[in-house]
Amino acid sequence: MDLVKAMNDHSQYLRKVVNTLNGKADFKGVAYEDCSFGQWLHNEAENVEDPTFKEKLPELKTLHKEFHELGRNALKHHEENSAYDAQQELTKLYQKSNQLLNILNKLM
């Protein structure tokens, strides 16, 4: 997986969460280790030789896991008809997304 694909997959995941919260989709979320980026991150990424990437790998894994947890929380609040809490989690999700994308951009 290249970093451009990782960024695209990440953006699509975020869009699915947003669309569900807006009533335009019925996305249930995916565990962080089951999405395509997560599978790559927790398996093949260990083999990347770039020292800068290796240095950032633990942070990427943590941010990626937190991103999925926030998405899951937002979707859970949505299912419970708690729009305020869902929006609070969505705000955190956007912030986490920006952190993750900033690191990926720097690695390109």
Residues 1/47, Cβ–Cβ less than 8 Å: no
Q: Give per-residue pLDDT as tens, 47-102.
A: 989 999 999 999 999 999 999 999 999 999 999 999 999 999 999 999 999 999 99
Residue 33: closest CA among 3, 4, 67: 67
Q: Give per-residue pLDDT as tens, 1-27.
A: 577 888 888 899 999 999 999 999 999
Residue owning tokens 């900033």: 102
Number of domains in the chain: 1
Q: What is the CATH number of the domain that holds 10?
A: 1.20.120.30
Residues 6 or more apart in contact with residue 36 via CB below 8 angstroms: 1, 5, 9
- What range does the domain containing 51 cover? 3-107
- What is the radius of gyration, based on Cα positions, of the chain? 14
Classified as helix, coil or strand, 56 is helix
